[in-house]
Amino acid sequence: MRRLGDRVGMAWAWGSSLCLLLGLGTLLVVLVTRGAPAVGPGLLFGDTAPGDAVLGRAPVFDGIWPALMGTLALVALACLVAVPIGVASGIYLAEIAPRRRRALLDIGVDMLAGVPSVVMGLFGFGLILLMRRTLAPSATTGLWLSALCIALLVLPYLIRTTQTALDALPESLRLVGPGLGFTRWQNLRHVLLPAAGRGILGGVMLAVGRAAEDTAVIMLTGAVWNAGLPAGLGEKFEALSFRIYVLAAEYRDDMQLAQGFACAFALLLLTCGLLASAHLLQRSLERRWKA
Amino acid sequence: MSCVRTTSLLLVVLALAACGSDKRAGPAPSPDLLPFEGLEGTLDIAGGTAHIPVMEEAAKRIMTAFPRIRITVGGGGSGIGIQKVGEGLIDIGNAGRPVKAKEQAKFELTSYPFAIDGVAVVVHPSNSVRELTTQQARDAFAGKITNWKDLGGADAEIHLYGRDEASGTRAVFWKKLLAKGAVATSANVVKSNGAMKTAISKDEHGLGYMSIGRIDDTLAAVGLDGVAATQETATDGTYVVTRRLFMNTRGKPSELAQAFIDYIGSPEGRAIVAAQGYIPLATP
Amino acid sequence: MSPTSGRTRGERTAELLLAGAAAVSAAAVLGILVFLAILAAPAWQGAAHVFTWDWRPFHGHYGILPMVVGSLLLALTALLLALPVAIGIAAFAHGLGPRRLARIVLAAVHAMTGIPTIVYAFVSAMLLVPFVREVFVHGSGYSLLSAALVLSVLILPTIVLVVHAHWHSMGKELERTCAALGIPRGRAVLRVLLPLSRRGLLTAAVLGFARALGDTMIALLLSGNAAQVPGSALDGFRTLTAHIALVVATDTQDAAYASIFAAGLILLLVAAAASLTARRLGAGNGRTEAARAAPR
């Protein structure tokens, strides 16, 4: 009887794991084979000459270049806001905050991490309506609003990874500074932060990946189907994830359908690439201090 | 070494391509585009999803001729078009229905009708049902008739598709065909005319409704009470489930918005409207 | 100045800045909560309308209870589908499988956290929905079944990683004890680790549930968005998240509009409750894992 239980458990574990690998493999194969017809010079730029498109001299239609640029602009802006705040909060939580305050802030960060992205988008949309009725009657949804909401969304990732990177440092390292007569601050700046740098960078990568994949936030705060290259903070923009969403519901021909798969594959490469680099950075940090 | 050469060659080609565009390759802009000469800035358009192909084609031509003008086209539905233009979030809000009195009181919009369009019941091309009575259509969308065989088709369950709350297509269809009657809550909800087309063209047993202008051979329109659902019957008044397509602005339009609205009403603009399957109106 | 108590003005400013940043992060949560509560106020005043079972805005019915049920039903079904598989995978990675393969499986699970939800939603809308429609006689394919299947894949890495982190934290000691008693590694996982980890499993389940509840794109593209309580796994339904995405377009003064802020507030409160529960259960063991696995 016990033997049987063991065997069932074993079979279940093997089955689940093989299913997982099989499923992931299928997903990749599907994306590549179905997206392949769209791969070509037209995928990025449509009918527009590549030189003109890259330099922004001529608008691109039917290509994913503006969406790719839109996603990059969005991610860069969001990180510009989130990285300083997130990393600083993480340092504060890990090194400075008194115990009780730390516990309280930890709960806050947990809750922020729990905000569903569509709710974050709704928050942004409501914010605009409120601003228009009060402070800024001409405020409108656009790149800046999406970037702000995405920044809030990825903030917890940055805080947590910074905190974890600092917490993971060995106690011996913490004693180096005071031993040399450093103040707590000097120790933090010259010993601990440089040591935790890779882990923090890993957190940034993680945040970038998360910022690039989100759809629900930007759908409510300024992404549109057709806008050309991102042109300014207050302007509407295109994004890869939003393009995939629209194509899913209303592709007009086989070429657009294939483009949807190609777009999905491109986004997948982007986010998984970032995730992998984050992972490698964090691993190298761990190894360094465990050795 | 060869790597450097390839790179520099690539750069030269890029530079040449970039230079070429200064002279704006291709023919000179048509006379209807001339009012845009000297204008620049951004024009945000959103709303009715029946309008999107027309808006996109117009935007494409204007932006190709005058790269300093930036036109963004979003969807969302007529409700979003009216709400967003009323709130001042966009410059032109499209709607596939007239502005309601309640909305007008709040937003003070100016409407520019530019095309006539019918709303047709649609099915998968393999479906043999191509003709319904008004009563049959009402019963089917209310969920009282649930099998195609009761409508003269194969023995299969009807898969209902409807539109979201913001849809002007839905508002017109509900008022003019369903006489504001019940609609089954079991109906799938899709967010645009394009999405309806995709959904029905993939579902053999689907039943939905959409803008006639966007129907092509991937799905079939169903006639009502012996009248075929085409833009011709919609124009001559024999097909009754029709509406006009509007652009709306809040108060007086900006120079760029005005030029765009004029362009849609120009011969070239009307040709675009016709090419996308709608019946252009004389002047917007 | 002694090095322990002495702080220059610069250091004090820096410390203040850091504290300020932390305050901004914490204020963001409160801000969102209060803000949504205010915007949802019209809905509370008309609570009799909003908390009903009937969503037919053109007839003046603005009930969002079907969406509440839809959200809960979907998240629970996805969790029930994902949990056993996730435990299987975690066990495989933790001793039941050969070491090298286990490493590959774990890497794959990590990679899965990077797959965007819109990619799952897109591929499934194209391939799974027609498949479900063909295979089963009833329904259009946009259904609880389709959405829950895909959503369970989405939350799988969350659960696996939390369970894995929990087992990892239970430590080498337990493993050594088992080894000393002559229990083979695989057997130790099944007979010792698994029964001892109720807490970890519960944490994983709560986090997975929250992640499922907060997802928008999968529900929006696969559920059919019919505003009804599904009668079977093959019926269409609508979640709160999809409801927000669909209705945000309507008239700003409408009761329909207030209903989406109410929906947002409900989602936020459930998510907050989930993260508090997970914290109390001791999610601190796998903090990064938990952050990575947070609902989107």
* CB proximity list for C149: less than 8 A, separation 6 or greater: C81, C124, C128
The pLDDT tens digits of the residues spanning B163-189 come to 988 889 999 999 999 998 888 999 999
Q: What is residue A2's predicted lDDT score, i.e. its pLDDT?
A: 64
Measured in whole angstroms, the distance separating CA A194 from the mean position of its chain's CA atoms is 24
**pLDDT interval class at C118 (50, 70, 90):** very high
Of C29, C26, C40, residue with least CA distance to C263: C40
Interface contact A255, partner C, CB < 8 A: no
**DSSP reduced 3-state for C222:** helix
The set of residues, in sequence order, having a beta carbon less than 8 Å from that of A270 and lying 6+ positions away, is: A71, A209, A212, A240
Cβ contact, residue pair A138, B14, below 8 Å: no
Helix/strand/coil for B163: strand
Which chains would you list as touching B if contact means 3+ CB atom pairs under 8 Å? A, C
Which chains touch C (3+ CB pairs under 8 A)?
A, B
pTM given for the model: 0.89
Torsion angle, alpha carbons of C83, C86, C91, C96, to 10: 120
Architecture of domain C50-293: Orthogonal Bundle (1.10)
List subunits contacting chain A, requiring 3 or more Cβ pairs under 8 Å.
B, C
Task: Confirm whether B144 is domain-assigned.
Answer: yes
The CATH number for B61's domain is 3.40.190.10
Using the Cβ of A33 and the Cβ atoms of chain C, whether some distance falls under 8 Å is answered with no
CA distance C59 to chain A (A): 25
Does residue C180 sit at the B interface (CB-CB below 8 Å)? no
CATH of domain A39-290: 1.10.3720.10
Asked whether residue B148 falls in the same domain as residue B236, the answer is yes
User: What pLDDT digit, counting tens, does each position of B95-115 carry?
Assistant: 999 998 888 888 889 999 999
Classify residue A181 as left (phi > 0), alpha (psi -120 to 50) or beta.
left
Residue A161: name the closest of A89, A105, A103 by CA.
A89
Where residue C252 falls among pLDDT bands split at 50, 70, 90? low
Question: Distance (Å) from the C-alpha of residue A139 to the closest C-alpha of chain C?
Answer: 17
CA–CA separation, C216 vs C66, rounded Å?
Answer: 16
Instruction: Give the span between the Cα atoms of C283 and C205, in whole angstroms.
Output: 11
Residues B81 and B125 in one domain: no
- B236 within a domain of the structure (yes/no): yes
Beta-strand pair B206-211/B159-163:
parallel
Model confidence pLDDT, tens digit, residues C132-183: 999 988 889 999 999 999 999 999 999 999 998 888 887 777 777 888 888 8
Q: What is the pLDDT of residues B204-260, one digit of tens each?
A: 999 999 999 999 999 999 999 999 999 889 988 899 999 999 999 998 899 999 999
Confidence band of B10 (pLDDT split at 50, 70, 90): very low
Residue of C nearest to B99 (CA): C251
* Pairwise CB contact (< 8 Å): A59 & B198: no
Q: How many residues comprise chain B?
A: 284
Structure tokens at A258: 């294939």
Q: How far apart are CA C212 and CA C218, in angstroms?
A: 10
Nearest to B88 by CA among B207, B216, B254, B261: B254
Q: How far apart are the first and last CA of chain B?
A: 62
Mean pLDDT over C26-43 rounds to 86
Q: How far apart are CA A116 and CA C215, in angstroms?
A: 7
Q: How far is B130 from chain C (nearest CA, A)?
A: 20
Q: Pick C250's closest partner by Cβ from B79, B185, B206.
A: B79
C250·B166 Cβ contact <8 A: yes
- DSSP three-state, residue B263: helix
pLDDT tens string, chain A, 291 residues long: the values are 567 888 888 899 999 999 999 999 999 999 999 998 888 878 888 877 887 777 777 778 788 899 999 999 999 999 999 999 999 999 999 988 888 888 889 888 988 998 999 999 999 988 888 888 887 777 888 999 999 999 999 999 999 999 988 988 888 888 888 888 888 888 888 888 888 888 888 889 889 989 999 999 999 898 888 888 888 888 889 999 999 999 998 888 888 899 999 999 999 999 998 888 888 887 887 777 665
**Which chain C residues contact residue A121 at CB under 8 A?**
244
Q: Do B63 and A228 touch (CB under 8 A)?
A: yes
Q: Work out the number of other CB atoms within 10 angstroms of the CB of residue A130.
A: 15
Residues of A in contact with C18 (CB under 8 A): 88-89, 91-92, 96
CA C143 to CA B71: how far, in whole Å?
38
DSSP class per residue in A205-230: HHHHHHHHH--HHHHHHTB-SB--S-
Domain span at residue B256?
34-115+245-280
B276 lies in some domain:
yes
Q: How far apart are CA C111 and CA C106, in angstroms?
A: 9
Q: Tell me whether residue C191 is exposed, middle or buried, using C-beta atoms within 10 angstroms of its C-beta: 0 to 12, 13 to 18, 19 or more.
A: middle
d(CA A116, CA A174): 37
- Per-residue pLDDT at B1 exceeds 50: no
B121 and B233, same structural domain? yes
Q: Name the one residue in this structure whose structure tokens are 């359908």.
A: A257
**Beta strands B92-95; B41-47: pairing state:** parallel
Looking at the structure of chain B, the number of domains it has is: 2
Distance of CA A84 to the CA centre of its chain: 16
Cα–Cα dist A82/A154, whole Å? 7
Contacts of C246 in chain B (CB under 8 A): 164-165, 189, 191
Q: Which two tokens stand for residue C192?
A: 């010792």
Residue ranges covered by each domain of chain C:
1-39, 50-293
Q: What residue has token string 């087309």?
A: B197
Interface of C with A in 237-276 (CB under 8 A): 241, 244-245, 248, 252, 260-261, 264, 267-268, 271-272, 274-276
Of C58, C227, C251, the CB nearest to B83: C251
| Closest CA of chain A from C2, distance in Å | 9
Whole-Å CA distances, B230 to A8, B122, B281: 63, 12, 16
Which amino acid type is present at position A168?
A: A
**Partners of B209 in the beta sheet?**
B121
In this complex, which of A137, A138, A224 lies closest to B74 when CB atoms are compared?
A224
Q: Which residues of C touch A245 (CB under 8 A)?
A: 118, 121-122, 217, 221
Considering only CB atoms, which chain B residues are within 8 Å of C251? 79, 82-83, 102-103
| Cβ-contact A168, A90 below 8 angstroms | no
Half-sphere exposure of C131 (CA within 13 A, CB side): 11
What's residue A80's pLDDT?
A: 94
C68, C266 contact by CB (below 8 A): yes
How far the first Cα of chain A sits from its last, in Å, is 45
Tokens of C98: 């050969």
Q: B2 in a domain, yes or no?
A: no
